[in-house]
Structures are given as C-alpha cells and as structure tokens.
Chains A and B, each alone.
Chain A
C-alpha cells in the first residue's frame, strides 16, 4: 500500500449524510473519497418528500439558495380518513417563509437533490466514485483500515458508513444491530406528474409554494400513514406501513396504497396526472431509542440513517436534515484531531442532534397507540357526520351522538381516558 492510495477518510454512500460529511471535510483540505453504489448520487434513494433547510446552512451558509429543492412548504395539512370520509386541518404561517429569509422547509426529490449536493462536495475537492458497491471492510488487528469493492482494496485513516437504513456495512462491523420489522416502516410512493399551474390551483398555492399533507386512517388499521408532497411539476404520493403488522393484516401493501389513490379526497388532487415512477424504501421509526449504543469503533464511524438519525413524531417527519447534521458533526470531530469516537459524540451534542431527538423520544409511545390508525379517525369522522347531517328529522343531541359513535367503534370511556393519559405523557 503506497501513501498515495490512502485517503484521510473514505465515506460509504453519497446520500445527504455522506455528502455533507465529505463537503465539510474536503473544505478543510482533507483527502476524501465517497463511494456510491448507484450510477449517480441519489439514484438509489427515495424520500417521502420534505427537507428542513437549516441543515444546509450548517454545511455552508447560503448554500440552500441554489439547491435543487422543489417548493417551499407554506401549507401544513393533516387528513384523517375513515372509509370515504375525511377531515383535513390546514395550517399556514407566513413566519415560516418570510420574504428575503431562508424558508423553513422545502419539498424534495432525492435523485435530483442528492446529485446536486454531491456535485457541490466535488467542487470542494471530494472525490465521488459512483457505480461502485462496497462489499466489505478491511480489518487489521481489530482496526478498520479500509474497504473492499469489486476486488479492489482502498485504505483510509477513517471509514465512515453512511450506507442508509439497511446499513449492511455498519451492521457487518457490529455497530448497528439488525432492524426489527416492528420498528421500521416500508414506504411506497408514486411520482405523479402534473403541470405546475394545476398543482398551484388545487392546493391554493402561489408560484414556488408547496403543501405537505400527512394522512391518518388510510392503512386499514396498520401502524402507518399516507403522505403527499407537492413538487415543482409532480406530486409525491405514498404510504408507509409497519411490516410486521402489514404481514399479519394479510393484504398487499401495494393494493392498500392503490386504494389510497382512488380515495375521494385524494383522487381530485392527482386527477389527470401521469405516474412516472414507483419507489419503495425502508425508514426507521424508533427515533432516539433506536440510535445504536456505539456509533464508533476503531477506524469506523456511522452517520445518517445507518446511525438511526430519523424522527417521526406523527405531524413532522425528519431524516434528511438529521442526516446532514450528523455528517457535519462527524466531519467536525475528524477536523478537531481529537479521539474520533468521543469527539463525534461531543459534536452530536454540540450540534443539538442528540438533544433534539431525546426531547421527543416519548412520541414513539404515542404512535404505538394502535387506535390512532383506524379507530380514532373513525370516531372523529363519526362525530363530524353527526354534526353535519341534516335530514329534517329531529336530531339526537351531539352529546348522545358522540356516545353512540364511541359505542359503534367499541371505544370505552376508560380506553379513551387511558389513551389520553398515555398520549399526554408521551409528548
């Protein structure tokens, strides 16, 4: 092994975590190689569809301004569905998108964004090698010293696994435990092309504005939910399911998702559109408690979703921003020249990633309340049905109506109180 063949850092995976790390390291003059198995950065990646912008500003102030993002999110919507009924909450707050300031969040397509982001890391001097799959790590006397890929060996002072949710490499190294089919979600998604003007009319948006819509009650009772994000000239529509529950439910996740497309509250939003891509991806659902105990061993560090940095708290879902932040933290740890393991942990705290995740750890328990995924949307719709039904007959009082709805859905007052207390404690 000659000195020239050795990199300061080899990063596995050119997703947001790997690229953010490479960008930051290369900017500081480190000799960085990123190895990506897809033909281009992002070509293996799928997201639901939104990104919180602050993370790019951590990489480089102002970098977001020419980022390959879709629409700034101006409308936050939650829809509860029960059969053909639906209840939608639409929240907007101009403070999230003040004129002349960085918008809080954008919708995003990963094949587009990741490729752009990787090109920015290249401009900083990182080498991004696409179309190469890392087959395994090289270990010498207990220390990771490099990677094996397609018969070649490459060496580095530090290897960083940014290889995503399945993280074959970090798991092989014993850092990341096996995923459980109870604490992940499988997401499926269609990209549906529509003219920008049609999207803006349907969602009441100005040019460049976007909507984010999360749906509850569209998974036939399976732990999970639907999502819809407006891109520049397409809509990302998808659904996430907990695999263990989908398996015992017995109906194909693909079929349940196809039903969602035809729902009377969804179909008019995508009508006339043309599906151009079908994607699927896993996502970790455990939040803080899913972060592996150790994110470093001699010569190897784990970042991004491989390290469990994903947050689903029901009304916001974050992953890309956390991945970028973890990549920056890892880079800062390396640049500090301190002992990488403890320095990485310190940076994850300094950059507020671990504290932010810990602060909402309880939401996992909230989202474990099973009645959220079918019963409560049905109860809510039942109550609205009572409120809005007028037939000319003498109505029963709303109070009585609510009791009737609870009874119809086999929810006792005791359960309601119990779930209420559990929910309150969780948040």
Chain B
C-alpha cells in the first residue's frame, strides 16, 4: 500500500493502545454539549476525530483511540468535558516512534 489519504480510524489502528475498560479518562456531560455549546470545537480539533455528532445532535465520544494530546480539554469552554485526566498508569496510547 502506498501513500494515500487515510481516515483517522485507520490511522489509529496502526497505534498501540491498551484501553482501560474500567475507567474512562475523559467523561462528557452530553446535555451541556447539546444545550450550552454552540460552536463544538472538539469536532474539529480532535486529531483522532473521536468527537462526532449523531443524528439527534448529540456529541458521541470514544475515549479508546485517544492520543492524549489535551486539545479538547483546552478548547472546551462550556465544561461539557466533566473529567479529563490522563489514563491510569500503563493504559492508553503507547508510541513506538513518537
């Protein structure tokens, strides 16, 4: 396979992840995201494209492919993100190159 444009999900599948099934490191209050946040910057700035809008206008989010950059935390002005921590030790992404 040569160089081509790739979907974020496909790119993430190349990375090594250890998903913490017991404890999500990022938690949203979707009510706040839906009602208070008009601009929803997370949809655009998340490099892993993990924030999406469903057909009801609700934000969906999957912490499993998180690259732990912290951009969503910084742009989230309405505090729809109620918890943002790094994953517990050993969990999350492990870069082999970085």
**A residues adjacent to B (C-beta < 8 A):** 37-40, 42-47, 109-112, 114, 131-133, 149-150, 165-166, 168, 178-181, 184, 186, 188, 190-192, 234, 236, 241, 243-244, 246-254, 258-259, 261-262, 267, 270-282
Contacts and interface: CB of A to CB of B under 8 A. Distances in A.
Contact of B93 (A44, A114, A186, A253): A44
A251 B44 contact: yes
Contact of B69 (A246, A250, A261, A282): A282
A247 B75 contact: yes
B44 A246 contact: yes
Contact of A278 (B15, B71, B89): B15
Contacts of B4: 261-262
Contacts of A190: 11
Interface string B68-98: 1111011100000000011111101111111
Given A277-B95, A279-B97, 20 more contacts: A43-B94, A43-B98, A44-B93, A47-B98, A110-B97, A133-B86, A133-B88, A166-B70, A243-B74, A246-B45, A247-B45, A253-B47, A267-B3, A273-B2, A274-B1, A276-B96, A278-B14, A279-B15, A280-B47, A281-B67
10 contacts: A38-B94, A43-B93, A44-B93, A44-B95, A186-B69, A186-B71, A249-B44, A267-B3, A280-B47, A281-B69
A254 B49 contact: yes
B85 A112 contact: no
B47 A250 contact: no
For the complex of A and B, the 6 pairs showing the least CB-CB separation, nearest first, are A247-B41, A110-B98, A111-B98, A280-B47, A278-B11, A280-B67
Bin chain B's interface residue count.
35 or more
B8 interface: yes
Nearest to A114: B98
Nearest to A238: B47
Nearest to B40: A247
A239 to B, nearest CB: 10
Contacts of B60: none
Interface string B8-45: 10011011001000000000000000000001010111
| Max chain B C-beta neighbours (<10 A), residue from A181, A190, A244 | A181
Contacts of A278: 8, 11-12, 14-15, 48, 67
B14 A275 contact: yes
B3 A45 contact: no
A42 B95 contact: yes
Nearest to B93: A44
A39 B86 contact: no
A40 to B, nearest CB: 8
Contact of A110 (B11, B45, B70, B95): B95
B67 A132 contact: no
A166 B26 CA distance: 14
Contacts of A111: 95-98
A14 to B, nearest CB: 12
B5 interface: yes
A274 B14 CA distance: 11
A247 B39 contact: yes
Nearest to B65: A278
A133 B87 CA distance: 8
Contacts of B92: 44
Contacts of B39: 247-248
Given A186-B71, A253-B45, A276-B14, A258 B5 contact: yes
A282 B86 CA distance: 14
A213 to B, nearest CB: 16
| Max chain B C-beta neighbours (<10 A), residue from A46, A180, A249 | A46
Contacts of A43: 93-96, 98
A79 B69 CA distance: 27
A150 B90 CA distance: 12
Contacts of B18: 39
A180 B71 CA distance: 10
